[in-house]
Amino acid sequence: MRTVDIIEKKRDGKVLGSEEIKFLLEEYLKGNIPDYQISAFLMSVYFQGMTEEELKYFTTEMINSGDIVEFSGTHKFLVDKHSTGGVGDKTTIALAPILAALGMGTAKLSGKGLGHTGGTIDKFESIKGFKFSETKEELIKLVTETGIGIMGYSDKIVPLDKKLYSLRDVTATVSSIPLIASSIMSKKLAVYADAIILDVKVGTGAFMKNYEEAKKLAETMYKLGKQFDRKIACMLTNMDEPLGNAVGNSLEVIEAIETVKGRGPKEFQDLVITISAQALKMKGDVATMEEGKRKVIEILESGKALQYLKNFIKESGGDPKICDDYSLFEIAPEIMQYHAKKTGYISKILADEIGKVAMMLGAGRSKKDDIIDHSVGLIMKVKVGDYVKKDDVLLEIYHKNNLTQNIIDIVENAIEYSEIKIEKNPIIFAIIEGE
């Protein structure tokens, strides 16, 4: 088999067989095919796409490039909820204890944040003493005992993705739907969970800015999950403005704890309840989303989910008292209140710009090795659609005397006003599930 023939076939829109895809990816991983040939192949995929069969073979090779993680012996229905990333996305922190209280388990690998979006690992590390599992055995023990198993990504899982992603990044091929779908799904499929729930974020703060493209991605990943015989649901959710009110690590964890107590910001609370109900439906515990939501609300009112969260924090080395005493979090001492420049309806709060501000304050990384500051961030006091008067407080910036005019200008440009009434954005646009 010759690499050039495979590239030519893809370039001309012909369908590749499993052996050709296997050859290409295996030999590339071994270092026997140079980057320039794979670059040409990726560009051909960018223009020609992949058939469902091709994508299945491609994803299979991705999965098989590294370790497969299975959680045998946990005796729980395991859920892996994955978000494509957004600003203020603390969903896993609130969701995992709720699922645990509902008798399910969370088993997932989470990432560190990069750029304007944060990572679950960083957020939990706002809790003093908190340490993540480092081995699969520790993770299994934790999920068995607490119902919550979260671990950082390991280089041993889908190593091919890292290699391909670096190349996609410099060859303008990141935004190819089949390449994104196989990249995300291979990492989900390599770690065994009974149900995969994908939260595909759409909007200014998301990886996918455009609804039609996001829908295509969600449908592609959904079909791929089905091809691998996995229970899967995909949600398309709003990331045109930050999720909830808090952006920044400690502030977000506090908001997630409030949500577990049933007191979270409305749209964030709705999102968490809907995902939990979806998980119950996939497990077969309820027949409808309405029934699932009622069950989730009962659990929230019982206080059980908070107990699971406390237990998880304790078993991970943190002090569970932090859930009742937020002064145990490190919070930046300086708070700047940002006031409305006009009277009117808030028509836009650009999530990517707010995420950028949080990053510039120190809450996120612009480079992989940056050290983050868990104490800084923002609290939004308004959402899109709210009516405000000039000089009302729109948001608070928690900082450590590192607030610059440039940061304030970014905030100013991120917020738009309208004299005409603006409808509130829905949090969930669509759910793809079933057959």
Minimum CB distance to ligand URA smaller for 95 or for 180: 180
The residue type at 354 = I
Catalytic residues: 82, 161, 168, 183, 187
Minimum CB distance to ligand URA smaller for 6 or for 180: 180
Taking a C-beta distance cutoff of 8 angstroms, is the pair 398, 404 a contact? no
Task: Provide the minimum distance between the beta carbon of 21 and ligand URA in the complex, in angstroms, as a whole number.
Answer: 17
Q: Exactly one of 184, 197, 251, 305 binds ligand URA (CB under 6 A); which one? A: 184
Minimum CB distance to ligand URA smaller for 71 or for 207: 207
Contact range with ligand URA by CB under 6 A, out of 176-184, 188-196, 289-297, 306-314:
176-184
What is d(CA 378, CA 395) in angstroms, rounded to the nearest whole number?
7
Strand partners, 388: 344
**Antiparallel, parallel or unpaired: β 377-380 and 195-202:** unpaired
Task: Provide the minimum distance between the beta carbon of 83 and ligand URA in the complex, in angstroms, as a whole number.
Answer: 10
What is d(CA 353, CA 338) in angstroms, rounded to the nearest whole number?
15
Give the residue from 310, 203, 186, 185 showing the smallest Cα distance to 260. Answer: 310
Minimum CB distance to ligand URA smaller for 207 or for 345: 207
Contact range with ligand URA by CB under 6 A, out of 47-55, 180-188, 277-285, 365-373:
180-188
Residue nearest to ligand URA (CB): 183
Task: Provide the minimum distance between the beta carbon of 203 and ligand URA in the complex, in angstroms, as a whole number.
Answer: 15
Task: Provide the minimum distance between the beta carbon of 28 and ligand URA in the complex, in angstroms, as a whole number.
Answer: 16
Task: Provide the minimum distance between the beta carbon of 164 and ligand URA in the complex, in angstroms, as a whole number.
Answer: 9
Q: Exactly one of 46, 57, 77, 207 binds ligand URA (CB under 6 A); which one? A: 207
Check residue 183 for interaction with ligand URA (CB under 6 A).
yes
Give, to the nearest 10 degrees, the angle between helix 91-101 and helix 304-315: 110
Tell me the CA distances in angstroms from 284 to 77, 104, 194, 247, 277, one per residue in order.
10, 12, 12, 35, 11
Q: How many residues sit in the footprint of ligand URA (CB under 6 A)?
A: 4
List, in order, residues 6 or more apart from 208 with CB less than 8 Å away: 84, 200, 201, 202, 214, 217
Tell me the CA distances in angstroms from 205 to 57, 266, 348, 359, one per residue in order.
32, 19, 12, 13
Taking a C-beta distance cutoff of 8 angstroms, is the pair 80, 106 a contact? yes
Check residue 3 for interaction with ligand URA (CB under 6 A).
no
Minimum CB distance to ligand URA smaller for 168 or for 283: 168
Residue 231 in tokens: 């229970």
Check residue 202 for interaction with ligand URA (CB under 6 A).
no
Binding site for ligand URA (CB under 6 A): 180, 183-184, 207
